[in-house]
Structure 1
């Protein structure tokens, strides 16, 4: 047991490098599964899937599956296919998201739907979902199947919840947290947990890894929603201000609206229903977010969830795996600066 207490905040710039180095060899095995299973006799399928899968994503979720296995000392290979299944679920949701949102960029490249069209993008997303379930079934664990299939259903619920909240300025912070807990954090949690299942560890270990994944997932999304207003497309891999133009009511907007004057609240109402989408409107929105402390407080909440993720690792032994997982949390928060 490790008695040390780690608090978020460090003098140097945190990096994903320790996590990537930790799982590099295992990630090669996972990537082989991904490349093999995205193949099809229908040429458009690997072409479209490859556009996104080869698009330079961080592979954060499958890396958490592999790192969790290292943390608990699992030395088998079952988690390789499952990490690939996790990445397929994530990629499928991104393809569907881009169609729903009408996005122009994904991971710094033209979104697949703009190149291949909406119908093909949705159908290839369905193909990748199906591949992920094939991989789960091949593993043979009903518990793993339950965890990952439940996460898939929760993600879809979160996306529908977000869609029905779109352009509604009165969306509450609680509903927003429900949305990101479903659409983002659920897969982080499942990805982190499944290694404990294949390693046949106790439920306490499973739940600790689930809590780590869930909380880093929430922190990750909070930071994403903050930097949508304060970063650039090169940093984010998507266009700055996308959430603003799409009428997404994220936490920075919820806080700024609650704290604004009558005039400022009217601006947010007009902006969120789509009447103010110009570059000048985005600049004004950003200035309101800064003035009301909405960005800063969103990052503060991200730190809170990041600390919860780190605390969830408290009972695991010190070592490279634990240090890398802690630094991954630090990295998630540091993207805001």
Structure 2
């Protein structure tokens, strides 16, 4: 049982990343070459496994944000290219580790690296990519950049551990949930945007505005991810629908449905989420309860509100093409079906 997300109140043309991609295409070509160069190793399994994940595609939204932020701030050099590659390496490493923790079999519509190469290889290659990211940070030579990206790496790890602790715990509050997604997802978006302004040597208020933009974009992005796990089609999502439910993850759609449910419905959530005692029919039952209480729609509405906050942070910057493309990227993140 799958249910489409509510149609966004937008113009007929769906928001996309196409304009953003076009505006940073030259820089992104350089980033892709850096990624290819830096994932090489005489240990054959490392480039083989890393190539598998990178070849699976993905929007590369985080490095796009770094490149766009630098362009928005008028930066003319090339430092942002290595830093965008660094951001992508951090993200890719976390994906490898996450799929092992979650025992995921699909990633971007293809078999996950751990499904093909095994958990041990995936964890160790993730460590390799983290190391490559730190090499790129050091090569940049800026202590401010190193502080931003290393702090983000530490917070992401904390967020993943925090999520592990809240898994299966229906006492998790909305505040705790938001703290988890702020750490495990939003902090890398924030750092990606911030370093783009740092390399451009912009005033602190602009640096912090871009950091807040990234934070809000990241929160909106994760809210939609969590809504899609109950509402998307598997083909569109590129991973197994209902993974969060099967793993007992307590996301906002569940938190709201549990809070609004009657005693029988709460007993259902306790059995399926806390006890992980699930039958084949339980995902459909969970989706029905989420539909009954409108919690996917509410999660999407909250993502739109956070997206509007991200747009507000861009208002202080010149009204140029790259700013418009970042505005559209926010709309894309909120309205996407995958």
Whole-Å Cα distance in 2 between the matches of residues 107 and 274 of structure 1?
29
What is the Cα deviation at residue 100 of structure 1? 0.4
Tell me if the contact between 1:9 and 1:330 (Cα under 8 Å) persists in the aligned partners.
Answer: no
Task: Tell me what 1:193 maps to.
Answer: 194
Task: Tell me what 2:300 maps to.
Answer: 299
Task: Tell me what 1:4 maps to.
Answer: none
Whole-Å Cα distance in 2 between the matches of residues 121 and 189 of structure 1?
26
Whole-Å Cα distance in 1 between the matches of residues 319 and 280 of structure 2?
48
1:1-337 map, 5 Å: 9-12=9-12, 13-336=14-337
Number of aligned residue pairs: give it.
330
What is the Cα deviation at residue 19 of structure 1? 1.0
What is the Cα deviation at residue 273 of structure 1? 2.4
What is the Cα deviation at residue 275 of structure 1? 3.9
Tell me if the contact between 2:237 and 2:337 (Cα under 8 Å) persists in the aligned partners.
Answer: no
Tell me if the contact between 1:167 and 1:247 (Cα under 8 Å) persists in the aligned partners.
Answer: yes
Whole-Å Cα distance in 1 between the matches of residues 31 and 73 of structure 2?
19
Q: Deviations over 1:240-280 (max 9, x none)?
A: 00000000000000000000011001101111024443341
What is the Cα deviation at residue 162 of structure 1? 0.1
Tell me if the contact between 1:215 and 1:305 (Cα under 8 Å) persists in the aligned partners.
Answer: yes
Whole-Å Cα distance in 2 between the matches of residues 281 and 28 of structure 1?
45
Q: Which moved more, 1:9-18 or 1:165-174?
A: 9-18
Tell me if the contact between 2:92 and 2:126 (Cα under 8 Å) persists in the aligned partners.
Answer: yes
Whole-Å Cα distance in 1 between the matches of residues 326 and 214 of structure 2?
10
TM-score by length of 1: 0.96
SS of 2:281's equivalent in the other structure is helix
SS of 2:230's equivalent in the other structure is coil
Instruction: Give the superposed CA RMSD.
Output: 1.2
What is the Cα deviation at residue 74 of structure 1? 0.7
Q: Deviations over 1:273-305 (max 9, x none)?
A: 244433411011001001101111111110111
Task: Tell me what 2:5 maps to.
Answer: none
Q: Which moved more, 1:145-154 or 1:235-244?
A: 235-244
SS of 1:302's equivalent in the other structure is helix
